[in-house]
Chain A
Amino acid sequence: MTRGERKNLRTGLLFISPWILGFVAFTAYPLLASVWFSLCDYSVLSEPVFIGADNYRDLWQDEVFWLALRNTVVFAAVSIPLGTALAIGLAVLLNQPVRGKGVFRTIFFLPSLVPAISLAILWQWMLNGSMGLVNEVLRPPLDAINWIAGTALQPPDWLNDPSWALWGLVLTGLWGAGNAMVIYLAGLQEIPAELYEAAEMDGANALRRFRDVTLPLLTPVIFFNVIMGLIGSLQTFAVPYILTGGTDGPGRSLLFLATYIYQSAFDYWNMGYASALALVLFLLILVLTFVVVRFGEKRVHYAGR
């Protein structure tokens, strides 16, 4: 290296030294320690004791783990497409020439800023089986259907019914679609108007314009959002935790991997097991992100490629 290069190296490293320190203390060390803890029986109140791969073996046979895994994946698999569709839909609506766009944009965006605790408390009340707002809104249409079709449909007791609790949580998540909507809106505004005009002249109606112009040009943004959404939703903890009061929800339907990890660590004081679970979660995120990236690489359309 030349003297200049060496100086630059030194300066560069100096500037990024806070991150290096943070990386070592809060990423590298914990990752390694996690691996070590996952091979131990550790309760924090006493020393870790090496037990080999026992935690992983137990994990494999632990039906609650598989349930938590299933809940986590199902939740992500449902809320990401729904959330994306909703966010794009809202963005498309807001991209039209209508009055009061700013107001609507605010209304849609605001819920995504609400702290988890307020959100959870609010929705715990909204999803109440008999006295909550959601069922209050659902009852009239269901009663109408009942009257017409002679059925006896009742709105579900969301938070006490194992089959419906997860959907209640999905609903809660959809309320925060405004965050992604803003990104899509920005993406939509980058699409040159000429493309739409050209498509119109070719005789394409609104739906076809959406499918052939809008969607392909949005794919980079969708790609980014889906990956961010994936990483985020696989770590869901706060809202279900508060919603269920720290338990697992009816029939364990609201037990997610992150919740199970927290429970194992700080309720059952099995920190070795919790570390094993956490590493599995990490693996899950890596694998799914890889899958999405691979899938996306072929489909994402980059302007100018």
Chain B
Amino acid sequence: MPDADQRPRLLVLALLLLLGAAFLLPFAWMVSTSLKPLNETMVLPPRWLPSEPQWQNYPEAMRAMGPFWLYARNSLLLAVLNVVGTVFSSALVAYGFSRIEWRGRDNLFLLLLATMMIPFPVVMVPVYTLFRDLGWIGSFKPLWVPAFLAGAFNVFLLRQFFLTIPRDLTEAARMDGCGEFRIFWQIILPLAKPALLTVALFQFMATWNDFLGPLIFLVRQDQFTLALGLQNFQSMQGGTAWHYLMAASTLVVLPVLVLFFLAQRTFIRGISTTGLK
């Protein structure tokens, strides 16, 4: 191979290694701190590796945090409900915006797009009072019922995808006298599996990572999600147990990492398609 080719390649590799290390370091630090005994976490100069990995930090952290598995169950419950609600309602709404021709459709869609610019803090207080008046504060409802009412972003994503499905398929079915819902359920949905999977994945992540929602709407400690439980743990009095805190944080990140490794391609593809269309 000619020399001129090798040098830039090596340069790129070197840069990638450097940046890769920089990006990986925080993770490594988090895991390394989580395995240290407390007296090694706060030393000057900071230690890179624990003298002896304290694997028991993990179960101890879970115990110190309180009802860890309860929080995990709550997070999972909400994530599942949100995924189910989002996928179905967004698909329905996206279908309505893309596969049927009706008056005012595109204007209404512009309105939908516009709502994406409304920041959450604007609706935060009235939505809070709405849920309060419905008596839903103190239950999980504020955190999953809205998912069944189709968020703008997912509708946007799915609509773009639905638009790529050839018209002839649905026209043929309509000629045969098929009802709209059947067309939706039996023709469009199966074809849209990759897009639906993407929406499901993103919604799972979003709900798992959600902090502000649980912060405002959850009051009872036994309903806390992992994110809230962890913050609870962080702000408890008596000094910060960094080793426990890191261990607990690692645990909260773990499902995200696992999910990513299982569904890498879908993740990446999903993100790239959102940006381009």
A, B assembled together = yes
A residues neighboring B (CB under 8 Å): 1, 5, 8-9, 11-16, 18-19, 21-23, 25-27, 29-31, 33-34, 37, 44, 90, 93-94, 96-100, 103-111, 113-118, 121-123, 125-126, 130-133, 136-137, 175, 178-179, 182-187, 190, 206, 220-221, 224-225, 231, 234-235, 237-238, 242, 245-246, 257-258, 261-262, 265-266, 271, 274-275, 277-279, 281-282, 285-286, 289
Hey, what's the 0/1 contact readout for B82-93 against A, CB within 8 Å counting as 1?
000000010011
The answer to whether B126 and A265 touch across the interface, beta carbons within 8 angstroms, is no
Q: B253 within 8 Å of A by Cβ?
A: yes
Determine the distance from Cα of A238 to Cα of B215 in the docked complex, in whole angstroms: 10
The answer to whether B227 and A115 touch across the interface, beta carbons within 8 angstroms, is yes
The answer to whether A136 and B146 touch across the interface, beta carbons within 8 angstroms, is no
Interfacial chain A residues near B29, Cβ < 8 Å: 122, 125-126, 133
Determine the distance from Cα of A130 to Cα of B252 in the docked complex, in whole angstroms: 27
Q: Which residue of B lies closest to A190 (CB)?
A: B276
- B5-13, B51-59, B189-197 - the one binding chain A: B5-13
| Count of chain B residues with a beta carbon within 8 Å of a chain A beta carbon | 94
Interfacial chain A residues near B264, Cβ < 8 Å: 106
Determine the distance from Cα of A26 to Cα of B128 in the docked complex, in whole angstroms: 10
Q: Which 8 A/B pairs are nearest by Cβ-Cβ distance?
A: A15-B96, A22-B149, A186-B272, A183-B275, A33-B126, A12-B102, A30-B123, A30-B126
* Nearest Cβ on chain A to B56's Cβ, whole angstroms: 20
Q: B231 within 8 Å of A by Cβ?
A: yes
Interfacial chain B residues near A98, Cβ < 8 Å: 9, 12-13, 16
Determine the distance from Cα of A30 to Cα of B115 in the docked complex, in whole angstroms: 12
Q: B172 within 8 Å of A by Cβ?
A: no
Interface residue ranges of B123-175 to A (CB < 8 Å) = 123-130, 132, 146, 148-152, 155
The secondary structure that dominates the B interface is: helix
The answer to whether B92 and A18 touch across the interface, beta carbons within 8 angstroms, is yes
Q: B110 within 8 Å of A by Cβ?
A: no
Interfacial chain B residues near A37, Cβ < 8 Å: 125-126
Determine the distance from Cα of A255 to Cα of B46 in the docked complex, in whole angstroms: 29
Interfacial chain A residues near B208, Cβ < 8 Å: 115
The answer to whether A15 and B26 touch across the interface, beta carbons within 8 angstroms, is no
Hey, what's the 0/1 contact readout for B78-109 against A, CB within 8 Å counting as 1?
00000000000100110111001111110010
Pairs A–B under 8 Å by Cβ, sample size 28? A8-B100, A8-B102, A13-B96, A15-B100, A16-B150, A21-B149, A30-B122, A33-B125, A93-B15, A93-B16, A96-B8, A96-B9, A103-B20, A105-B268, A107-B20, A108-B23, A113-B209, A114-B256, A122-B29, A136-B46, A175-B26, A183-B272, A221-B276, A231-B116, A242-B231, A246-B235, A262-B121, A274-B124
Determine the distance from Cα of A175 to Cα of B27 in the docked complex, in whole angstroms: 11
The answer to whether A26 and B105 touch across the interface, beta carbons within 8 angstroms, is no
* Nearest Cβ on chain A to B121's Cβ, whole angstroms: 4
Determine the distance from Cα of A1 to Cα of B102 in the docked complex, in whole angstroms: 10
Q: B45 within 8 Å of A by Cβ?
A: yes
The answer to whether B45 and A136 touch across the interface, beta carbons within 8 angstroms, is yes
Contacts A131-B43, A133-B46 given: A258-B230 contact, CB under 8 Å? no
The answer to whether B256 and A16 touch across the interface, beta carbons within 8 angstroms, is no
Determine the distance from Cα of A114 to Cα of B121 in the docked complex, in whole angstroms: 22
